[in-house]
Structure 1
Amino acid sequence: MFLTGLALLPAIALVVWIYRQDKVEKEPRGLLWKIFLFGVLSVIPAMILEIILDEVFLVFMDADTLCYVILDNFIGVALIEELCKMKAAKWAAWKHPAFNYKFDAIVYCVTSALGFAAIENVLYCLGGDFGTAVTRALLSVPSHAIDGVIMGYFFGVAKEAELAGDKKRRKRYLKLSVFMPMIEHGIYDSALSLDADWIFVFFFLFVIVVDVWAYKFVKKQSGQDRELSA
């Protein structure tokens, strides 16, 4: 029970933090809980698709090859998870009347990502220990939140394109809302999977740089928030 609570705490804390960064018009809490729940549920299709793709990759290559590590982490994990998290946010919030400011998109996508991260963290911690819970609280959960920040920026541009009647631009930016966080996610997971001394150093430098960037980017987007327009 203690580990479960510890596993949920960082995700909930980050949802509260991103909610408080929305300075212009707070989002309905009921909507945010819905998005969070959809993020939790998105773990199910993600797990199924990850298992299927992993089996496909193993037909063509050995698990200890660099090609497998890169493909599995970028396509078999990152692409699938970011797609599922984006769909969760889109199904829950895209047509909601509260989605009327640019920063709303970041709030929605971060909330969806943290719903996903929360249940994933619980599953990992049930089979782990206190050290696992702390490590994931400091690294994995914030990484999902950062993916949500990246996703949310492009998600918001896509929403504005729809309001302008630009279907081509809408489609392009919805794709980017999955592809761009996939890059960060894939680098993160690949670095954890590779066994080399320099990778350890690269990983922690990467985490620090991305964390600082995400914090500053959220502050900037919050300060420049504006109403979505056609």
Structure 2
Amino acid sequence: MGDDLTCCICGEPLQPPYNILGQRTYCAHHFALVNKPHPGFWRAGVIQIVSTGLISALVAWLAGLLGPLEGPPLLLAGLALAVVPSLIWLVYFYRQDRLEPEPKHGVAAVFLLALVLADVIGRRLVDEWFQVRLWASADSTTSLAAAILIVGVTWQAIAYLAVRLLVYATPEFDERMDGIVYGTVAGLGVATLLNLRYVLDNGGVALAPGVIGVVTTALAQASFGGLMGYVLAEAKFTHRPLWWVPLGFALSAALNGLFSWLIGEVSAVGLGVAYWRSLALGLAVALAAFFCLVALMRRSTEVTLRQSRRSL
């Protein structure tokens, strides 16, 4: 082994004896961190959810205190609400990869590609080609089918393409956790576009329900993307049957479509569900996907550490 090795996390030059896990080398500080028992995935997830909920409640309270906004102030507030939740969730998911954090330029590239594809391809497919809003409101069955087979599949395909085209075949995609991180980042790119279009198309948003809606959308799209990313990583690093990735994609797309239907179509087409109730149902789906993803993040880290120690 050469003498020019550096820590895979901080880049510090290393001297023998080397701290190695698998193919990665670490400085003493980060080697101790990655080998430290990490029961905090659940705790960090709960703290993140509670903190985000408190921030949302604070914004809603301030909105009621300040009164209704109009014109440019409303639009600026809406744009901030569209972007900030995605950034908050991006930081959270990025920090969960403690073994070897992904390069920031790669994360940014996946995020931006997903955002651009969601606008250039996804939005046009849903709104202009299929014109879902013109016919999907006929009844609840048609509405749900359109949400899953068109909306859910489209947004999930965008996240899949962003990961598959940019990072899947690169050396940086070398553990299961990478699939989750890049998948959540791609999902957040989609969520950011959805939230931006929602704000721009409506000339702003009502802050109280708006902040909960955009935060929930960011959480949901990140979680669906992360679940799909885990499936991709499992397919890359283990022997899985041919149906593994298609099934994982189909499940993620179905959840994506169900979420879209609950927060959008249900209240929009008069199916007997009030806005706040539909938002609560959508949040329930998002939280279920999120906590499933937390369990997979913990499992992915444990598997990587176990395999690395066996190779020593």
> The TM-score by the shorter chain falls in which range?
0.7 to 0.9
User: What TM-score do the two structures reach when normalised by structure 1?
Assistant: 0.82
Determine the C-alpha separation between the residues in 2 that align with 1:143 and 1:46.
17
Name the counterpart of 1:83. 157
How far off its partner does 1:47 sit? 1.6
Name the counterpart of 1:99. 173
Determine the C-alpha separation between the residues in 1 that align with 2:176 and 2:136.
44
Structure showing greater relative contact order (alpha-carbon pairs closer than 8 Å, 6 or more residues apart): 1
Name the counterpart of 2:290. 214
Shift in alpha-carbon separation, 1:10–1:102, aligned structure 2, 3 A: same
Spell out, residue by residue over 1:132-151, the C-alpha distance to the aligned partner (whole angstroms, 9 max, x if none): 64132332111111211221
Where do 5+ consecutive residues of structure 2 fail to align?
Answer: 1-75
How far off its partner does 1:174 sit? 2.6
Spell out, residue by residue over 1:102-159, the C-alpha distance to the aligned partner (whole angstroms, 9 max, x if none): 1110000000010111122111112232426413233211111121122122111122
Matched, 1:204 2:280: yes
Determine the C-alpha separation between the residues in 2 that align with 1:5 and 1:155.
32
Shift in alpha-carbon separation, 1:8–1:90, aligned structure 2, 3 A: same
Determine the C-alpha separation between the residues in 2 that align with 1:220 and 1:86.
18
Where do 5+ consecutive residues of structure 1 fail to align?
Answer: none
Matched, 1:13 2:13: no
Q: Is contact 1:105–1:152 with CA below 8 Å preserved after alignment? A: yes
Determine the C-alpha separation between the residues in 1 that align with 2:287 and 2:91.
17
Matched, 1:35 2:110: yes
Q: Is contact 1:188–1:203 with CA below 8 Å preserved after alignment? A: no
Spell out, residue by residue over 1:70-128, the C-alpha distance to the aligned partner (whole angstroms, 9 max, x if none): 22101120011101111111111111111111111000000001011112211111223
Spell out, residue by residue over 1:185-206, the C-alpha distance to the aligned partner (whole angstroms, 9 max, x if none): 1222222323224996576256
Determine the C-alpha separation between the residues in 2 that align with 1:46 and 1:135.
23
Superposed counterparts of 1:91-130, under 5 Å: 91-126=165-200, 127=202, 128-130=204-206
RMSD over equivalenced CA pairs, Å: 2.8
User: What TM-score do the two structures reach when normalised by structure 2?
Assistant: 0.62
- Report which stretch shifted further, 63-72 or 29-38: 63-72
The amino acid that maps onto 2:95 is: R
How far off its partner does 1:45 sit? 1.1
How far off its partner does 1:208 sit? 3.2
Q: Is contact 1:149–1:218 with CA below 8 Å preserved after alignment? A: no
Give the one of 123, 137, 159 matched to 2:236: 159
Determine the C-alpha separation between the residues in 2 that align with 1:202 and 1:134.
15
Name the counterpart of 2:261. 190
The amino acid that maps onto 1:137 is: V
Counting matched residue pairs gives: 220
Task: Say which one has the larger Rg.
Answer: 2
Q: Is contact 1:23–1:222 with CA below 8 Å preserved after alignment? A: no
- Report which stretch shifted further, 133-142 or 27-36: 133-142
The amino acid that maps onto 1:146 is: S
Name the counterpart of 1:178. 249
Determine the C-alpha separation between the residues in 2 that align with 1:39 and 1:185.
15
How far off its partner does 1:178 sit? 1.9
Determine the C-alpha separation between the residues in 2 that align with 1:66 and 1:13.
34
Give the one of 143, 161, 169 matched to 2:220: 143
The amino acid that maps onto 2:283 is: V
- Report which stretch shifted further, 172-181 or 28-37: 172-181
Determine the C-alpha separation between the residues in 1 that align with 2:275 and 2:210.
23
* Identity among equivalent pairs (%): 20
